[in-house]
C-alpha cells in the first residue's frame, strides 16, 4: 500500500514542479500575488453572472478597509447575481502579527442582513487549536476558554465558524497543522451542533503520511505531512449533527483530493459538505474544469450524484485585487454548466439547509 502510494505521489510530483509558482498560492490569502496560467478568463472581460442566484459561502476581505470591503462586496451581489456573500477570517495563529477576527467586520456587515454575513473564529478559535497543538494542553481549562470564545462569537452574530484549518500551507498566514480529531476540533463539532451552525475547514488531503509535495518549501512548511483522512472521518463521526464544510474543493495541492475520495467520504458521512473553489490562477492538481472550460465528466457526475452536499465558496477577496482573475467568475462558469435543478440546490438551497435560520428566510425569496 505504501509503495503504491509512493508511486502515485511520485507521478504527482511532476505536475507539482510544473506549477511550483502556483502551489505557493495554495492559501486564499495570497490573492494579491499573481501568476497567470492558460485557460484563464481575462480580467478585462465583461463578468458573466450566475444564471440563477447563488450564495458565495467563502470569501475574504481587507481588514484594514472595512468600508471598501462592504462597498465592493455589496456591489458584487448584482454583478455576480449573488443572493448573499459570506465573509470569513483567514485561519491564523496568535504568534502571527496582524491576526484578526470577526469583531473587525461584524458591526458593519450586520447593517446588511440578507446580503452579507460573517463566518468567524479563524483568528481566535483556530489560533487556540494551534496553540493547544504546540503546548500539548487540551485540558478542561483550555476547553472552557475555547467554548466561551466560540459561544461569544455566536452571540455576536457569526453564522458559522471559520476559516479553521487542519493542514494549511504557508501563505499570508503561516503553515499550520492540527490533527482533525484534536480534542478542540471534537469540541467545536459539539458546539457547532448545539448552536446549529456549521464550521468551515481548510485541509489539504493527506491519506497517508507523506513528504511535502515538490515545489513547496520547508521551512516555512513542515518537511513531512501527517495523514489526516482517518482523523477527519473520526471528526465527522464524532457528532452526526455537526455540519462540517470541507472547503476549497478544486484547489488541491497534494494531488490526493480525488473524485474517488470525495465520493467515498460523502457516501460515508451525511454531515459532510464541500465548497467548490475553482481558482483560475492556481488550478488544484485535481481540477474540475478541463482546458476548454467544460466540467470534467467525473466531476459533473459527482455534483449530480450528491446535489445536496455542495455549495459555492470561491475564496474571492473583496475589494477584488486589481489586475487579477476573479475566483468567483471561474466558480460561476462551472456553476452555469449545471442543470437548473442542481444549480438551485448548490446555489441557495444547500446553504439554507446548512446555515439554517440565520440565512434561510432571506434565501427563500431568491428567484431560482
**Binding-site ranges for Zn ion (CB under 5 A):** 28, 163, 202, 315
Min separation Cβ 275 and Zn ion, Å: 9
Question: Least distance in Å: CB of 368 to Zn ion?
Answer: 26
Task: For Zn ion, give the closer residue by CB, 52 or 165.
Answer: 165
Closer residue to Zn ion in complex, CB, 202/343: 202
- Of 177 and 366, which CB lies nearer to Zn ion in the complex structure? 177
**Virtual torsion, Cα 319, 324, 329, 330, nearest 10 deg:** -140
Query: What letter does residue 122 receive in the DSSP assignment?
Result: T
**At its nearest, how many Å lie between Zn ion and the CB of residue 3?**
32
The residue among 25 and 366 lying less far from Zn ion, judged by its C-beta, is: 25
| Beta carbon of residue 250, minimum distance to Zn ion (angstroms, whole number) | 12
CB 229, CB 206: distance < 8 Å: yes
Beta strand spans in 139-289 (E): 160-168, 176-177, 199-203, 210-211, 224-225, 244-249, 272-276
Nearer to Zn ion, 52 or 88 (CB): 88
C-alpha torsion angle, residues 275, 279, 283, 288 (rounded to 10): 50
Helix (H, G, I), strand (E, B) or coil at 362: helix
- Sign of the CA dihedral running 157, 276, 328, 360: negative
Shortest distance, position 185 Cβ to Zn ion, whole Å = 16
Distance CA 147, CA 159 (A): 16
Transcribe 84-98 into DSSP letters.
EEEEEPPP--TTSTT
Residue number with the shortest CB distance to Zn ion?
28
Residue whose CB is less far from Zn ion, 281 or 315: 315
Q: Is 330 helix (H, G, I), strand (E, B) or coil?
A: helix
Please say which residue, 56 or 181, places its beta carbon nearer to Zn ion. Answer: 56
Rounded CA-CA distance 248/60 in Å is 13
Q: Is the bond preceding residue 366 a cis peptide, omega within 30 degrees?
A: no
Quote the least distance from Cβ 294 to Zn ion, whole Å.
26
Q: Give me 291's grid cell.
A: 482546458
Least distance to Zn ion, CB of residue 200, Å: 8
- Report the alpha-carbon distance of residue 34 to residue 43 in Å, rounded: 12
Entry field: residues in the chain: 368
Quote the least distance from Cβ 196 to Zn ion, whole Å.
23
β pairing state of 116-121 and 176-177: unpaired
Residue number, 226 or 294, with CB nearest to Zn ion: 226
**Rounded to the nearest whole angstrom, what is the least distance from the CB of residue 179 to Zn ion in the complex?**
18
Q: Which is nearer to Zn ion, 29 or 271 (CB)?
A: 29
Amino acid at each position: 500500500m505504501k509503495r503504491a502510494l509512493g508511486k502515485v505521489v511520485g507521478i504527482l510530483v511532476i505536475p507539482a514542479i510544473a506549477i511550483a509558482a502556483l502551489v505557493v498560492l495554495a492559501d486564499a490569502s495570497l490573492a494579491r500575488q499573481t501568476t497567470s496560467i492558460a485557460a484563464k478568463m481575462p480580467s478585462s472581460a465583461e463578468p458573466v453572472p450566475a444564471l440563477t442566484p447563488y450564495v458565495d459561502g467563502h470569501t475574504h476581505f481587507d481588514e484594514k478597509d472595512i468600508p471598501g470591503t462592504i462597498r465592493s462586496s455589496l456591489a458584487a451581489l448584482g454583478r455576480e447575481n449573488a443572493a448573499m456573500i459570506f465573509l470569513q477570517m483567514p485561519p491564523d495563529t496568535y504568534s502571527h502579527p496582524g491576526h484578526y477576527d470577526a469583531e473587525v467586520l461584524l458591526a458593519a456587515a450586520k447593517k446588511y442582513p440578507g446580503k452579507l454575513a460573517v463566518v468567524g473564529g479563524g483568528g481566535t478559535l483556530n489560533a487556540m487549536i494551534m496553540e493547544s497543538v504546540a503546548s500539548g494542553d487540551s485540558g478542561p481549562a483550555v476547553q472552557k476558554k475555547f467554548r466561551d470564545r466560540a459561544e461569544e462569537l455566536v452571540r455576536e452574530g457569526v453564522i458559522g465558524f471559520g476559516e479553521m484549518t487542519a493542514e494549511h500551507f504557508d501563505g499570508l498566514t503561516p503553515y499550520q497543522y492540527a490533527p482533525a480529531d484534536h480534542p478542540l476540533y471534537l469540541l467545536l463539532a459539539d458546539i457547532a451542533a448545539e448552536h446549529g451552525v456549521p464550521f468551515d475547514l481548510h485541509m489539504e488531503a493527506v491519506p497517508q503520511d507523506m513528504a511535502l509535495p515538490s515545489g513547496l518549501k520547508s521551512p516555512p512548511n513542515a518537511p513531512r505531512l501527517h495523514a489526516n483522512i482517518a482523523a477527519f472521518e473520526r471528526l465527522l463521526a464524532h457528532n452526526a449533527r455537526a455540519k462540517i464544510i470541507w472547503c476549497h474543493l478544486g484547489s488541491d495541492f497534494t494531488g490526493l483530493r480525488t473524485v474517488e475520495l470525495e465520493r467515498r467520504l460523502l457516501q460515508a458521512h451525511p454531515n459532510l459538505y464541500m465548497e467548490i473553489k475553482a481558482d483560475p490562477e492556481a488550478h488544484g492538481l485535481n481540477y474540475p474544469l478541463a482546458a476548454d472550460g467544460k466540467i470534467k465528466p467525473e466531476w459533473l457526475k459527482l455534483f449530480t450524484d450528491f446535489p445536496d452536499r455542495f455549495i459555492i465558496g470561491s475564496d474571492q477577496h473583496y475589494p477584488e485585487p486589481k489586475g487579477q482573475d476573479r475566483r468567483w467568475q471561474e466558480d460561476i462558469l462551472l456553476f452555469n454548466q449545471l442543470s437548473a435543478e442542481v444549480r438551485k440546490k448548490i446555489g441557495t438551497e444547500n446553504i439554507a439547509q446548512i446555515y439554517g435560520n440565520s440565512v434561510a428566510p432571506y434565501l427563500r425569496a431568491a428567484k431560482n
